[in-house]
Protein backbone atom coordinates (compact mmCIF):
# COMPACT_ATOMS: atom_id res chain seq x y z
CA UNK A 1 0.00 0.00 0.00
CA UNK A 2 1.32 3.45 -0.94
CA UNK A 3 1.80 5.45 2.25
CA UNK A 4 1.89 9.19 1.63
CA UNK A 5 0.89 11.87 4.12
CA UNK A 6 0.29 15.15 2.26
CA UNK A 7 0.17 17.22 5.44
CA UNK A 8 3.54 15.82 6.50
CA UNK A 9 4.97 16.84 3.14
CA UNK A 10 3.52 20.34 3.50
CA UNK A 11 5.15 20.58 6.93
CA UNK A 12 8.47 19.49 5.40
CA UNK A 13 8.19 22.23 2.75
CA UNK A 14 7.39 24.82 5.43
CA UNK A 15 10.43 23.82 7.51
CA UNK A 16 13.06 23.09 4.84
CA UNK A 17 11.78 24.88 1.75
CA UNK A 18 12.40 28.44 0.61
CA UNK A 19 10.10 31.22 -0.49
CA UNK A 20 9.73 31.72 -4.20
CA UNK A 21 8.31 34.26 -6.60
CA UNK A 22 6.13 32.68 -9.27
CA UNK A 23 5.04 34.21 -12.57
CA UNK A 24 2.54 32.45 -14.82
CA UNK A 25 3.37 32.37 -18.53
CA UNK A 26 0.88 33.17 -21.29
CA UNK A 27 1.62 33.02 -25.01
CA UNK A 28 2.19 36.51 -26.40
CA UNK A 29 0.04 37.74 -29.29
CA UNK A 30 3.20 38.19 -31.37
CA UNK A 31 3.35 34.40 -31.93
CA UNK A 32 2.31 33.32 -35.42
CA UNK A 33 -0.33 30.57 -34.99
CA UNK A 34 0.65 28.98 -38.32
CA UNK A 35 4.46 28.91 -38.10
CA UNK A 36 4.69 29.02 -34.31
CA UNK A 37 7.38 31.69 -34.58
CA UNK A 38 7.51 34.76 -32.37
CA UNK A 39 8.44 38.35 -33.16
CA UNK A 40 11.90 38.81 -31.66
CA UNK A 41 11.40 42.60 -31.79
CA UNK A 42 8.12 42.52 -29.85
CA UNK A 43 8.00 45.30 -27.25
CA UNK A 44 5.36 43.52 -25.16
CA UNK A 45 7.20 40.26 -24.42
CA UNK A 46 10.74 41.36 -25.24
CA UNK A 47 10.96 38.77 -28.00
CA UNK A 48 10.69 35.67 -25.77
CA UNK A 49 7.17 34.83 -26.93
CA UNK A 50 5.52 34.89 -23.49
CA UNK A 51 4.08 37.50 -21.16
CA UNK A 52 3.99 36.98 -17.41
CA UNK A 53 1.62 37.58 -14.52
CA UNK A 54 2.92 37.67 -10.96
CA UNK A 55 1.13 35.20 -8.68
CA UNK A 56 1.25 36.99 -5.33
CA UNK A 57 -0.08 33.99 -3.44
CA UNK A 58 3.23 32.21 -4.06
CA UNK A 59 4.85 34.13 -1.21
CA UNK A 60 2.59 32.28 1.23
CA UNK A 61 4.14 28.92 0.35
CA UNK A 62 7.59 27.37 0.27
CA UNK A 63 9.14 25.00 -2.25
CA UNK A 64 11.86 22.37 -1.98
CA UNK A 65 14.69 23.47 -4.28
CA UNK A 66 17.57 21.21 -5.26
CA UNK A 67 20.58 22.10 -7.40
CA UNK A 68 21.44 19.67 -10.20
CA UNK A 69 24.98 18.47 -9.40
CA UNK A 70 25.65 16.30 -12.44
CA UNK A 71 24.56 16.06 -16.05
CA UNK A 72 21.43 13.98 -16.42
CA UNK A 73 18.89 13.33 -19.11
CA UNK A 74 15.17 12.72 -18.70
CA UNK A 75 12.88 11.90 -21.58
CA UNK A 76 10.30 14.49 -20.49
CA UNK A 77 12.76 17.26 -19.51
CA UNK A 78 15.70 16.74 -21.86
CA UNK A 79 19.33 17.28 -20.86
CA UNK A 80 19.91 18.79 -17.42
CA UNK A 81 23.11 20.68 -16.70
CA UNK A 82 25.02 21.88 -13.67
CA UNK A 83 23.24 24.98 -12.40
CA UNK A 84 19.75 23.74 -13.28
CA UNK A 85 17.36 23.20 -10.38
CA UNK A 86 14.45 20.97 -9.50
CA UNK A 87 11.58 22.60 -7.63
CA UNK A 88 9.06 20.47 -5.74
CA UNK A 89 5.66 21.76 -4.61
CA UNK A 90 2.16 20.55 -3.94
CA UNK A 91 0.24 21.25 -7.18
CA UNK A 92 -2.92 22.29 -5.36
CA UNK A 93 -0.88 25.15 -3.81
CA UNK A 94 1.60 26.06 -6.55
CA UNK A 95 0.66 24.48 -9.90
CA UNK A 96 3.86 25.61 -11.62
CA UNK A 97 3.87 24.82 -15.34
CA UNK A 98 6.22 24.81 -18.33
CA UNK A 99 7.52 28.26 -19.39
CA UNK A 100 6.58 29.85 -16.04
CA UNK A 101 9.23 31.87 -14.18
CA UNK A 102 10.30 31.05 -10.62
CA UNK A 103 12.49 33.42 -8.60
CA UNK A 104 14.38 32.22 -5.53
CA UNK A 105 13.69 35.31 -3.46
CA UNK A 106 15.83 34.30 -0.48
CA UNK A 107 19.02 34.03 -2.57
CA UNK A 108 21.11 36.75 -4.15
CA UNK A 109 24.50 36.89 -5.82
CA UNK A 110 26.96 39.69 -6.53
CA UNK A 111 27.87 40.43 -10.13
CA UNK A 112 30.17 42.90 -11.91
CA UNK A 113 29.24 43.60 -15.52
CA UNK A 114 30.59 45.92 -18.22
CA UNK A 115 27.95 47.29 -20.58
CA UNK A 116 27.93 49.73 -23.48
CA UNK A 117 25.69 52.75 -22.94
CA UNK A 118 22.54 53.01 -25.04
CA UNK A 119 21.17 56.33 -26.26
CA UNK A 120 18.33 56.41 -23.70
CA UNK A 121 17.99 56.72 -19.93
CA UNK A 122 17.82 52.95 -19.31
CA UNK A 123 20.51 50.29 -19.72
CA UNK A 124 19.75 46.58 -19.41
CA UNK A 125 21.84 44.20 -17.31
CA UNK A 126 22.20 40.51 -18.09
CA UNK A 127 21.44 38.84 -14.75
CA UNK A 128 18.00 39.80 -13.46
CA UNK A 129 15.95 40.65 -11.49
CA UNK A 130 18.20 43.20 -9.80
CA UNK A 131 18.06 43.04 -6.00
CA UNK A 132 20.41 45.94 -5.25
CA UNK A 133 22.65 48.25 -7.25
CA UNK A 134 26.01 48.72 -5.50
CA UNK A 135 28.14 50.87 -7.80
CA UNK A 136 28.15 52.37 -11.31
CA UNK A 137 31.28 53.87 -12.84
CA UNK A 138 33.10 54.75 -16.04
CA UNK A 139 36.85 55.04 -16.52
CA UNK A 140 36.85 58.66 -15.35
CA UNK A 141 34.13 58.90 -12.68
CA UNK A 142 31.80 57.08 -10.28
CA UNK A 143 28.08 57.82 -10.17
CA UNK A 144 26.06 58.08 -6.96
CA UNK A 145 23.49 55.31 -6.56
CA UNK A 146 20.01 55.56 -5.02
CA UNK A 147 16.83 57.61 -5.11
CA UNK A 148 17.58 61.31 -5.38
CA UNK A 149 21.04 60.61 -6.79
CA UNK A 150 22.28 59.93 -10.33
CA UNK A 151 21.29 56.33 -11.04
CA UNK A 152 18.97 53.69 -9.52
CA UNK A 153 18.27 50.01 -10.01
CA UNK A 154 15.37 48.94 -12.20
CA UNK A 155 14.02 45.38 -12.29
CA UNK A 156 16.13 44.44 -15.31
CA UNK A 157 18.83 47.12 -15.42
CA UNK A 158 19.81 50.63 -14.37
CA UNK A 159 17.83 53.85 -14.74
CA UNK A 160 19.66 57.15 -15.14
CA UNK A 161 18.07 60.02 -13.20
CA UNK A 162 20.48 62.74 -14.32
CA UNK A 163 22.52 63.24 -17.48
CA UNK A 164 24.01 59.81 -18.29
CA UNK A 165 27.33 59.09 -19.99
CA UNK A 166 27.33 59.46 -23.76
CA UNK A 167 26.00 56.62 -25.92
CA UNK A 168 28.73 54.07 -26.59
CA UNK A 169 30.55 54.70 -23.29
CA UNK A 170 31.68 51.61 -21.41
CA UNK A 171 30.03 51.45 -17.98
CA UNK A 172 30.80 49.05 -15.12
CA UNK A 173 27.86 48.07 -12.91
CA UNK A 174 28.24 46.15 -9.64
CA UNK A 175 25.00 44.70 -8.33
CA UNK A 176 23.21 41.91 -6.49
CA UNK A 177 20.78 39.82 -8.51
CA UNK A 178 18.17 37.25 -7.53
CA UNK A 179 18.24 33.98 -9.51
CA UNK A 180 15.24 33.52 -11.78
CA UNK A 181 14.54 30.22 -13.53
CA UNK A 182 12.57 29.37 -16.65
CA UNK A 183 10.58 26.17 -16.13
CA UNK A 184 11.58 23.72 -18.85
CA UNK A 185 9.27 20.83 -18.00
CA UNK A 186 7.39 19.01 -15.29
CA UNK A 187 9.04 15.76 -14.27
CA UNK A 188 5.80 14.46 -12.80
CA UNK A 189 2.31 14.85 -14.15
CA UNK A 190 -0.33 16.34 -11.89
CA UNK A 191 -1.90 13.25 -10.37
CA UNK A 192 -3.94 12.28 -7.33
CA UNK A 193 -4.06 9.42 -4.92
CA UNK A 194 -7.24 7.49 -4.33
CA UNK A 195 -9.57 9.85 -2.52
CA UNK A 196 -8.46 12.93 -4.44
CA UNK A 197 -5.24 13.76 -2.54
CA UNK A 198 -2.58 15.38 -4.71
CA UNK A 199 0.95 14.00 -4.96
CA UNK A 200 3.96 16.38 -5.01
CA UNK A 201 4.93 17.93 -8.35
CA UNK A 202 8.56 18.41 -9.42
CA UNK A 203 9.58 20.80 -12.20
CA UNK A 204 12.94 21.58 -13.81
CA UNK A 205 14.25 25.15 -14.10
CA UNK A 206 17.16 26.77 -15.93
CA UNK A 207 18.62 30.20 -15.19
CA UNK A 208 16.85 32.81 -17.26
CA UNK A 209 20.08 34.58 -18.19
CA UNK A 210 22.06 31.53 -19.33
CA UNK A 211 20.82 31.36 -22.90
CA UNK A 212 17.98 32.06 -25.28
CA UNK A 213 15.88 29.25 -23.88
CA UNK A 214 13.16 29.47 -26.54
CA UNK A 215 14.52 28.81 -30.02
Q: Is the dihedral of CA 71, 175, 180, 161 positive or negative?
A: negative
Neighbours of 107 (CB within 10 A): 13
Task: Spell out the domain ranges in the chain.
Answer: 6-107+178-212, 110-177
d(CA 11, CA 86): 19
Which residues have CB under 8 Å from 109's CB, separation 6+?
127, 176, 177, 179
**pLDDT single digits (tens) 124-180:** 999 888 999 999 999 999 999 998 899 999 888 999 999 999 999 999 999 999 999
Instruction: Find out if CATH 1.10.3470 is the number for domain 6-107+178-212.
Output: no
Which value, in Å, is the radius of gyration of the alpha carbons in the chain? 20
Q: Judging by beta carbons within 10 Å of its beta carbon (0-12, 13-18, 19+), is residue 111 exposed, middle or buried? A: middle
Main-chain dihedrals φ then ψ at residue 59, nearest 5 degrees: -70, -15
Asked whether residue 1 carries a pLDDT value surpassing 50, the answer given is no
pLDDT at 57: 64
**Kind plus residue range of the DSSP H or E element containing 12:** helix 6-16
Task: Identify the CA nearest to 174 among candidates 125, 101, 103, 119.
Answer: 125
pLDDT at 25: 94
Main-chain dihedrals φ then ψ at residue 151, nearest 5 degrees: -150, 145
Q: How far apart are the first and last CA of the chain?
A: 44
What pTM was estimated for this model as a whole?
A: 0.80
**pLDDT single digits (tens) 72-98:** 655 555 677 778 899 999 888 888 999
Amino acid sequence: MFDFEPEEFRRLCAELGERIGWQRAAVCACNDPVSGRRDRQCTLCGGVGYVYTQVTEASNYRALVRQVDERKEFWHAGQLYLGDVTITTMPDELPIAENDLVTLTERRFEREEVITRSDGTFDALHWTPIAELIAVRTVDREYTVGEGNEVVAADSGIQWLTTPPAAGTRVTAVYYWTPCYVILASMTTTRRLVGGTYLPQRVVGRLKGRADYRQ
